[in-house]
Amino acid sequence: MNSSIIVISAVRFVILLLFQVFILKSISLGWQGNIYMHIIVFPLFIFLLPIRTPRAVVMLLAFALGLAVDVFYDSPGLHAGASVFSAFVRPIVIKLLEPREGYNVNHSPTKARLGFSWFWRYAAIMLLLHLGFYFSMLEFSPVFIADILLKTTFSFIASYAFMLMIVFVFNPLD
C-alpha cells in the first residue's frame, strides 16, 4: 500500500469511529421496551480497505475499530467480535462477487471502481453478515431468534441507507 491509501484509510477510520459513537449511538428505535433498530456504519471502514490488504492486517484493524466502538458503547467485545468476523468473511464475499475480468488488487472495493451494482450487493452482504453476527452474540440464545431477526432486519435497513448515503456523499475512490 502506498502512503496516500494509508492516510485515507486512517482518516476514514477516525471519521467513521467518531460518527458512530458521537452521532449514531444516540439514534435507536424500538417498541415495548426493546430497541430494534440501531444504525451501525463503522464496518464501512472494513469494507473499503484495499483488496490486497492481508487478511491478518484487516482483522487487526477490524479488532481495533470494534474495540474502540465497544469502549464507547459499553459492550464488552461485541463490536470487536462482529468486526473481526466481518474481516474474516470479507475475502470470501469478495471472491464470491468477483467480476469476470477480475479485480485490480491495488484498489479498494468502491462503487467508483467496481460500479454501483457490484458495491450495492457487496455492502449488503457484508452488512447483513456483520449485523447478524452482532445480534446473535448480543442475544446469544436461539430462544431469542425472533428478536435477533427483527433487530438484524430493522438495523440492516437503517444502517444500509446511511451507509449508501455516506458512500454517495463522500464518493470514496480508494
Single pTM value for the model: 0.88
Q: Are 1 and 53 in contact (CB under 8 A)?
A: yes
- Written as nine digits, the cell of 113 is 471502481
For residue 3, name the pLDDT band (cuts at 50, 70, 90): confident
What are the boundaries of each domain within the chain? Answer: 3-170
For residue 116, name the pLDDT band (cuts at 50, 70, 90): confident
* Percentage of the chain modeled with pLDDT above 70: 93
Whether the pLDDT of residue 16 is over 70: the answer is yes
- Structurally, what CATH architecture does the domain formed by 3-170 represent? Orthogonal Bundle (1.10)
Summary mean pLDDT of the chain = 87
Query: How far is C-alpha 90 from the chain's CA centre?
Result: 10
